[in-house]
Amino acid sequence: MENQPLLRDTIIEVNLDNIAYNMKKIKEVIGEDIFIAAVVKANGYGHGAVDIAPTIMENGGEYLAVATLTEALELRKKYEDYKIFIMGYTPDEYLDYVVNNNITQTIFSLSQAEILNDLGKKNRKKPVIHIKYDTGFNRLGFRDCKESIDEIDEIFKLKNIYVEGIFSHFALAGRIEDDLQYNKFVEAVNLVEQRGWKFKFKHICDSISGIDYPEFRLNMIRPGAIIYGLKSYKDESIMLKQAMTFKTKIYHIKALEKGEGVSYDYFWKADKNCIVGTLPFGYADGYPRNLRDKGIVTIHGKKAPIIGVICMDQCMVDLTDIPEACVGDEVIIYGDGLNNTLDIHQISQLAATNKNEIACRITRRTPRVYIKGEKVVKVSNYLL
Ligand SMILES: *Cc1c(COP(=O)(O)O)cnc(C)c1O
């Protein structure tokens, strides 16, 4: 893919060196013999799945894991050879896409396994599946019972599919609940393996459990957040680097007189003469609208509070204490937490949500700029 022109000053900068660093660090922590199914759903948590995939795969990724068929197809269109895994459910009528694009599919019923088996035969392929086993999250998966073990047994007997793995997912409700889930999982795996079947990959850990529960890693983990340097685990000895910076430029500046209002409903009014800047980003770019009167951006290393209602495409900041600010000056919306910037963790706290949501809600209107060795190596402007 060729570089595309920017044509917009509100951008997501993605530091590919940081993603590479995080991948290597994760690999170092878990050890060489444990595989990584790198979770790049939701456009790689906003970082751009297609453009970060090579960095991930060249630094220890075994699989690219996504939630939906369309996410898998977006990656497959660009990369013929990467292993791609759909962790979610794909309805029967779309399963031929899975087979014809060599995508590994999550399965939690005999009937879907049979459909894949038939499609495999018809297309002279051997679809690869991972069994999803529900140990208490109560989202997707085989129920934890003997009938399920029997069904998995039946799935193994199908000749035209390859049962490569089995997995589960923690609710992370607490140590006791997590232990219970892990034990259920291992017990189910053992019951199946006692019948003579083998799973190449067994996995239950995401980012948090993958770091904090070394004893639960089995031989694969499915980290998402930590690849992007979004840390929610407890182990403070493991440092990772946030990969995303959200930036824009000042587009307009004016002096307001005491008593003037700003933005819809005049929820903010000047209590003295002041300077107000207009910034070209809003909730349609993924910035949380509920950060009205809470959000802070950084200009010339100083904090500028967002004032008034955040609009779809623009918002206003108080520049009274930053008199040197000029139109065209750089604004850091999400930084690394240094130099008076707010990082994604701080933004998520202010917006009363989690880091993953803050990252993945960045929309495709915002171009992604990829940095490697402090140079721009790629611009992706999805709208062009
Ligand atoms: C999203 C997801 C992950 C990754 O979660 P993180 O908390 O970002 O590491 C792992 N497994 C499944 C099934 C998921 O849906």
How many CB atoms are located within 10 Å of the residue 134 CB? 20
Calculate how far, in angstroms, residue 268's C-alpha sits from the geometric centre of ligand 1. 39
**Residue 77's closest CA among 55, 97, 61?**
97
| 361 has binding-site annotation | no
Mean pLDDT of 23-46: 98
Closest atom, ligand 1, to C-alpha of 207: 9
Alpha carbon nearest to ligand 1 atom 3, residue: 206
| 220 has binding-site annotation | no
Calculate how far, in angstroms, residue 359's C-alpha sits from the geometric centre of ligand 1. 14
Beta bridge partners of 261: 269
Closest atom, ligand 1, to C-alpha of 87: 13
Q: Assess whether 264 carries a catalytic annotation.
A: yes
**Given 41, 202, 231, 249, which residue is catalytic?**
41
Our mutation pick for probing the ligand 1 site, out of 68, 206, 221, 232, counting the most ligand atoms within 8 A of Cβ, is 206
pLDDT in tens, 42-82: 999 999 999 999 999 999 999 999 999 999 999 999 999 99
The crossing angle, in degrees rounded to 10, of helices 146-157 and 175-193 is 50
Q: Which domains does the chain have, with CATH numbers?
A: 17-227 (3.20.20.10), 244-342 (2.40.37.10)
Q: What is the pTM of this model?
A: 0.97
**Residue 308's closest CA among 296, 319, 316?**
316
For ligand 1, residues with CB inside 6 Å are 39, 41, 87, 169, 206-207, 222-225, 356
CA 194 to centroid of chain Cα atoms: 36
pLDDT in tens, 95-144: 999 999 999 999 999 999 999 999 999 999 999 999 999 999 999 999 99
Calculate how far, in angstroms, residue 91's C-alpha sits from the geometric centre of ligand 1. 21
**Given 94, 157, 254, 264, which residue is catalytic?**
264
% pLDDT > 70, the chain: 99
**Residue 107's closest CA among 131, 90, 83?**
131
Q: Assess whether 41 carries a catalytic annotation.
A: yes
Check pLDDT > 80 for residue 219. yes
How many CB atoms are located within 10 Å of the residue 81 CB? 7
Calculate how far, in angstroms, residue 222's C-alpha sits from the geometric centre of ligand 1. 6
